[in-house]
Amino acid sequence: MNRKNYTHPNPNPNYTSNNSMQSLHFIQALARINRAASKPTTPSCRTKQIRHAAYSSMAYTSGSRRKWSRALLIRLRQRQRLRARRLLTVRRRVRIVTPAMSLPEEPARAETLRRLVPGGRSMEYCNLLEEAADYVQCLRTQVQLMQSLVDAFSS
Amino acid sequence: MSSRRSHSRHSNASRITEEQINELVSKLQMMLPDAPIRRNSRVSAKKVLQETCSYIRSLHQEVDDLSERLSELLASTETDSAEAAILRSLLMQ
């Protein structure tokens, strides 16, 4: 999925083609989860699957264009592999710790933000701010999407 | 902000970067939930970062909550709204 990274004037800044791609990915993932529901799944397991699908569709939509989405995809796949190996064990949340790149000119700023944005530890401060803005945008879209689905299902 | 400038060794490079950073920080500020209220006042970068952190945390929490609700709703079979039926059929494919 290669998208050229260009901006064009958008009449409605709230709706972008990225949003619809994100919605599509998420709904497809939900469909997969629903189809696989013939296997006995506990509610908490299904919740985790849905949560995984949410972050997965976010990351997949931005793909390799963003550092946070690359880092998130890696983290999700590692978690999935670990979960597949031990299906029944209750595991602590897996932290994949990457060593922070040493930045000789700037001290590491915004520690908390680095922890919250996927892949944030090894970003330069400038990139971190940009990635954080994009990450927040994607998160917001995902939350709006999920809220719309919940509203549609519960009306 | 000016104190940071006096510490910089490469003055030209960091002056350009300072402007970029200010721009990015104000861009972040505009994404925060109470941006329309705050648009005219100048908020410190530190505050913007703090609020961004708490906003990201709250968004993560919302994703968790909504995942749980979606999980319950997908599992339940009682619904008689047309929209829900359409969505269900979409998800059944």
ipTM: 0.74
The answer as to whether A11 is a domain residue is no
Task: For residue A14, report the phi and psi dihedrals to the nearest 5 degrees.
Answer: -80, -20
The number of angstroms, rounded, from the C-alpha of A147 to the middle of its chain's C-alpha atoms is 16
On chain B, the residues whose CB falls within 8 A of the CB of A43 are 71-72, 75
Q: Which residues contact B43 (CB under 8 A, 6 or more apart)?
A: B29
Domain count, chain A: 1
What residue segments make up the domains of chain B, in order of their start?
66-92
Please give the single-letter amino acid code of residue A145: L
The answer as to whether A9 is a domain residue is no
The answer as to whether A42 is a domain residue is yes
The mean pLDDT value for A40-61 works out to: 88
Which residues constitute the domain of residue A61?
A: 17-98+107-154
Q: Please tell me the predicted confidence (pLDDT) of residue A73.
A: 92
Distance CA B24, CA B26 (A): 5
**B44–A contact, CB cutoff 8 A:** no
How near does any CA of chain A get to the CA of B82, in Å?
9
Q: Please tell me the predicted confidence (pLDDT) of residue A106.
A: 47
> Residues B28, A133: contact at Cβ < 8 Å?
yes
Distance CA B56, CA A147 (A): 17
pLDDT over 90, % of chain B:
19
